Structures are given as structure tokens and as C-alpha cells.
Structure 1
Amino acid sequence: MAGKKGHHGGAWKVAYADFTTAMMALFLCLWLTAQDTKIKEAVERAFRNPFSAVTKESVGIIPNKETTATYKAEGEFQSISAVEIETMRRISEELARILQQEDALENTVRLELTREGLRINVFDRSQKPVFEPGTDRFTPYGEWVFSTLAWEIARYTTFKIELEGHTARADPQARETLRQWELSTERANAARRQLVHHGVAPTQVCKVSGYADTMPMPDLPPDSDANRRVTILLKLKETGESLAAAAGTSSSHAARVH
């Protein structure tokens, strides 16, 4: 009789373990139902194909409603390492979080994730100028914007950086006076100095270019003040060689500064 009683003495442990598992499952279900649609979709993707979650679906998730994540040439990311893509995604999320916290940056900085890497456009708008008019000297606001970006970018030393200067299309009679080519290059180089001054490694910068008014934003008229901008490109490694080759054979007037 005693032996029979001892044989069934551990049954409560099994029942308790089942109860604990059921409670945990209930908790997870309640937690999931309380989340927003993005989190639910991310969890669903992770369960459907956990091995591709990092390399495909999670690339470039930018929570800021004012920022834009653009994917060009779908499938181009397939050759990029998962670690590098995950790092790029993390940078975009952290920068987007800064944009959400700093209302002053709302209309000045735009993030764009492309097959070349992460483009950070800094706009020199008339209502919030980043540069003194017609010069490459930063306004106090411009210094703050680039120092804020530099502190975040400096945390990631594996990416090469390209800087591009752009201007808006001016009146034909005034274009020569405004020195569009020189001004766009000088502003890009001023941005380089500011980034390096605030912690970005000088060896990360591989090109500084000025494009004058030849490359307006695709969604804006050529004379819009938002075309006055400096673009910071954090390059994905695998595209570096092909981009360098393309730049070497290009007939553009982009000026290169070492």
C-alpha cells in the first residue's frame, strides 16, 4: 500500500507544470493581442520564417512617420551579410528615435534606406537654415544638427561614408554669382569637418562631392529650397567597389576632396 502511494506522489508536480505552462501561454496570448499591428506582423514573420527575419523583413524599419524608407531594386540586399544589414537597421531606428524626440529636426532630416546604404538628407530650408546664406558656414542650428548626427554615426566604425552637397536651381543670371558647383562642394566638405570634429573617424569618409543643382529631390520642383541639402551616405560594404567603379567612369562634375 505504501509503495503504491509513493508511486503516485509526484503526479501533482506534473499537473503544476502543465498549469504553469498554460498560464504562460495565456499571458503571451494576452500580451500579443494588446500589441499594435506592426508588432503582430513582425511576430508572425518570425514564426513563419525565423531564419530570414533579419536578412529581409526587418531591414530598415523606421518608426518615425515623417521619415521615409525606400527600397530600390528589390532583391539587391540578398548578397549583403545579415550582420551588416542588422547594423544598418539599428542605425536607422536609432536615428528615427532621435527625430521623434527632437521636434526641431522634424523637417530638416530625412532617412532613406537604399541598396547603396542609408542616406541621411539634411535640408537647408529657409525657415530653418543650416548654413549662412551663400556660404559654407554653419548656423548655430546647423552645427547642432550635424553634431547630433555625428554622435550617433560615430558609434559605428565599419561603414564608409560619402558626403554630397546640393543646391537649388537659381535664376540663370545669378547662377554664376552663387558659385553653385563650388558652394555645394564646400558645404559637403564643411559637413565632413563637422562630423570628424564630433567623433566620426576621418578614415571612414571616402568621398566628398558637390553636384550643384543637377540632382534635385525627385518629389520637389528644381527651385525648391529643400533641394539645398547635404546628404550623408553610410555605405554597405558589398556595394562599395561597384559604386567606386561607377564613379570613376562617370562624366559628372562631382568634385572629390581628400
Structure 2
Amino acid sequence: MATQPAPQSEPAQPQDAPAAPDGALTPENALAPIIVKKITIEEGGHHGGAWKVAYADFVTAMMAFFLLLWLLGATTEDQRKGLADYFTPTLVKLKEQSAGSDGMLGGSSITDADNYPNRAGQTGTQSITIPRAATGGAHKDGAPTVEEIEAQAEHRRKAMMAQIKRRLEQERALRKLVRQVRVVRTPEGIRIDLVDDADFSMFALGTTVLVPEARQLIGVIAQTLGSEGPSAGAQLIVRGHTDALKWKPGVRANNWSLSTGRAEATRQELLRGGLAEGRFARIEGVADRELLVKENPADPRNRRISVLVLD
């Protein structure tokens, strides 16, 4: 007996969802979001270049300043005056002498009479030499350079010391005094120092009385300064120095009067040695204000007489 197939059941139908209210967003009517990207470019204001101009002016000024310093150090007085005249706007003879040529230094000018001979009513040409860089040689007027002056002064100093030493060594009693003499170069001239030490003193203690050996030593100095040579006739300054030892209470003397009195006693002895009265420019006493041994004010080497031979 044949079997009948079972009737197939129909799939369940989904129940209708409740209706959405009007205007509500549903998956069926939802749209993709729209994203709007705005790129805002903020530009700064216009920056001026005034600082560049100021900086350029500063650099230019500094360059000119250092160039000026170089010129001042690399040229002589006459060459600087020549440079000043060379850069003047005109060569018209406004003055008899220009560029300071009538001042204390007496420099020559590019418009001096020797360099600018053609006055009004005259004809002709005159060549003008452009100032050159300093070469360390002599001035155009033949005057010695600074290096030559220093070399001459050093030569005089050595010659003076050699002459004093030779004169002292000629006398047996004075040979030991060579160590008391110092000859040094100063901006004012050549200075001869007669220095005390622990074994020798030019003056009796606390007085202006020269000991016999000191009189002989000063006589040798007078012979040296009075002999023929570059220093013959030069003006002299005699200066007295003391140490910083204190005086006993109640004593009226002091280092000022003592140093001045010793300088005067030295001058008198130089006169007896043959120097003329007119050779002396000044007599000075500086007490203990110019110590030779500054680290030890009581050192006997601070007691000395200086004879300065002026240039």
C-alpha cells in the first residue's frame, strides 16, 4: 500500500514590523554622512627688511672702524697728514698750510708751498705722489723712525754703562761699587741709579752726608756726563729715594725732607765734579713713593739716588 508524502509546511512569514513614524530615520532611508574639510591657510603679515639695513650699516661701520685703526697703526704722522690731504674734495689753496701742518707736529701737507708751487697767474703742472703704506723706513724728510730712535737710545745706555764701569774699575777702591750702579732706559731718557744695599750706603744713616766712597762714585758719574758724547749738555733731574722705615717719635725729620736733602747733596757733588749749574732741570725728593723693591718696602735697595739724563 502506497504511502502519501506528507504535505510540506510553508515557511513562516515574518511579522510585519511596526510602522515608523513619519520623518524618522530608518536603515532604508539613511544616507552616508557628508564630511566637508576646509583648509585655512593663515599667512603672516609682510615683514619689512629694515633690520637688514640696520645690520648692514653696523657691519660697514665696524669695518670702517677697524680699517681706521689699522691705518693709524701702520702709517707715520706725515703719511696720515698726506692721506687726509689726498681725500680732500679739492686741491685749491684755501690756506697757506693745511691738514694741521701749522700745528705742534709741523707735518707737511699735500698743498704746502713745496708741493703746490703754481699759484694764480702761473702755469705748469705739478705731480702729486699718492701716499704709500708705511714700510718702517725713514720719514720722507729724513727724520729718524721710532725704531731708530729706540736703537740710538739703547746704544747710548750701553755706552754710558760701559764708560762708568771702565772708570770705576780703574780705581781699586771703587771696583766693588760697579754693582751699585744701574743704567736703565725710561720714557724720559736714560736714568742712572746709585743704589744702596746691605753692605753699602751712600749716606750716613738718617742724614744727607755722603760717605767718601759715594763722593768718588758721584765724581765718576760727573765725569761720564760731562765728557764728549750724545749725553753731553743734556738736562738732568736728580731724584732722591728712601725706604719705608719709620722715624723715631719726636724726630722732626721725615722721608720727604731726607730724600730731597740727599738729592741736593748729590747735585752739589756733581757740581764739584765739573758739571755746569745750567745742566740741572729739577731736584726732587719722592720719599718712599717709588720703591725699587715693592714687595719689601724696608729693603735697603729702595734707598737710592737717580740721575735722569733727559732726551
TM range (shorter): 0.5 to 0.7
Partner AA of 1:231 in structure 2:
S
Structure with more contact order per residue of length (Cα contacts < 8 Å, sep ≥ 6): 1
Give distance in 2, aligned partners of 1:128 and 1:172.
21
Contact 1:157/1:201 (8 A) holds in 2: no
Secondary structure of the 1:110 match is strand
Deviations 1:33-88 (A, max 9, x none): xxxxxxxxxxxxxxxx8987853435324xxxxxxxxxxxxxxxxxxxxxxxxx56
The answer for the alignment partner of 1:201 in structure 2 is: 276
The answer for the alignment partner of 1:256 in structure 2 is: none
Contact 1:118/1:233 (8 A) holds in 2: yes
Partner AA of 1:91 in structure 2:
M
The answer for the alignment partner of 1:180 in structure 2 is: 255
State how 1:1-258 maps to structure 2 within 5 Å.
54-61=148-155, 90-98=159-167, 103-155=175-227, 156-171=231-246, 178-218=253-293, 221-236=296-311
Partner AA of 2:245 in structure 1:
A
Q: Return the index of the structure with the highest Cα Rg.
A: 2
Partner AA of 1:224 in structure 2:
D
Deviations 1:126-181 (A, max 9, x none): 41121111111111111111011111111243210001111101136559555211
Partner AA of 1:228 in structure 2:
R
Give distance in 2, aligned partners of 1:149 and 1:172.
31
Deviations 1:201-232 (A, max 9, x none): 11000100111112111555211111111110
Q: Could you list the runs of 5+ residues in structure 2 that have no partner in the other structure? A: 1-136, 139-143
Q: Could you list the runs of 5+ residues in structure 1 that have no partner in the other structure? A: 1-48, 62-86, 237-258
Partner AA of 1:105 in structure 2:
L
Partner AA of 1:227 in structure 2:
N
Secondary structure of the 1:151 match is helix
Give distance in 2, aligned partners of 1:54 and 1:98.
29
Number of equivalent positions = 164
Aligned residues with identical type, % of pairs: 24
Partner AA of 1:123 in structure 2:
V
Partner AA of 1:131 in structure 2:
F
Give distance in 2, aligned partners of 1:115 and 1:204.
19
Partner AA of 1:150 in structure 2:
A
- TM-score after normalising by structure 1: 0.55
Give distance in 2, aligned partners of 1:225 and 1:201.
31
Structure having the larger proportion of residues in helix = 1
> Displacement of 1:124 after TM fit?
2.8
Change (3 A) 1:106 1:213: same
Give distance in 2, aligned partners of 1:152 and 1:116.
19
Give distance in 1, aligned partners of 2:167 and 2:295.
25
- TM-score after normalising by structure 2: 0.47
Change (3 A) 1:141 1:172: closer
Query: Quick check: 203-212 or 91-100, which moved more?
Result: 91-100
Give distance in 2, aligned partners of 1:159 and 1:175.
42
Contact 1:131/1:137 (8 A) holds in 2: yes
Give distance in 1, aligned partners of 2:233 and 2:149.
18
Give distance in 1, aligned partners of 2:250 and 2:279.
33
